């Protein structure tokens, strides 16, 4: 203890100054690190907020697409019945057109028949 009391005052001030400077440097480093951490956390929060809004928009788009597909699937049996009836009507019309073509061919042959006798 006597040795500490025997130290000159400027050495004691140097030790106090060194401790104070070390505390100030430590405080600045801690505050700087906390500020950097706060800025990075704010950046992360903004990125998460933007990603959440993009995901929400994508989910709305997917939900709308799912509803559209669901409606199309629900209408499919009705549409299939409509297509089957339209196909049946078309097949009847084709049969009628073939029959008319046969009649037209027979009529043309009948009109040309006299020409066979005249032409030789």
Residue 118 token pair: 């005249």
89 or 14, greater pLDDT: 89
DSSP state of 7: S
At 119, the pLDDT band (50, 70, 90 cuts) reads low
pLDDT 10s digits, 15-68: 778 888 889 999 999 999 999 999 998 989 999 889 888 888 888 888 888 888
Domain chopping of the chain, boundaries: 9-119
Residues 6+ apart with CB under 8 A from 48: none
Instruction: Tell me the pLDDT of the chain averaged across its residues.
Output: 84
Entry pTM: 0.44
């Amino acid at each position: 203890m006597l040795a500490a009391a025997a130290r000159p005052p400027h050495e004691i001030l140097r030790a106090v100054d060194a401790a104070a400077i070390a505390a100030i440097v430590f405080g600045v480093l801690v505050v700087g690190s906390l500020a950097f951490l706060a800025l990075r956390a704010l950046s992360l929060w903004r990125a998460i907020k933007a990603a959440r809004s993009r995901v929400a928009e994508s989910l709305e788009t997917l939900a709308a697409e799912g509803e559209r597909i669901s409606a199309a699937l629900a209408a499919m049996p009705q549409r299939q019945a409509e297509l089957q009836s339209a196909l049946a009507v078309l097949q009847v019309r084709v049969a009628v057109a073939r029959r008319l073509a046969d009649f037209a061919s027979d009529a043309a042959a009948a009109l040309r028949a006299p020409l066979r006798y005249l032409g030789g």
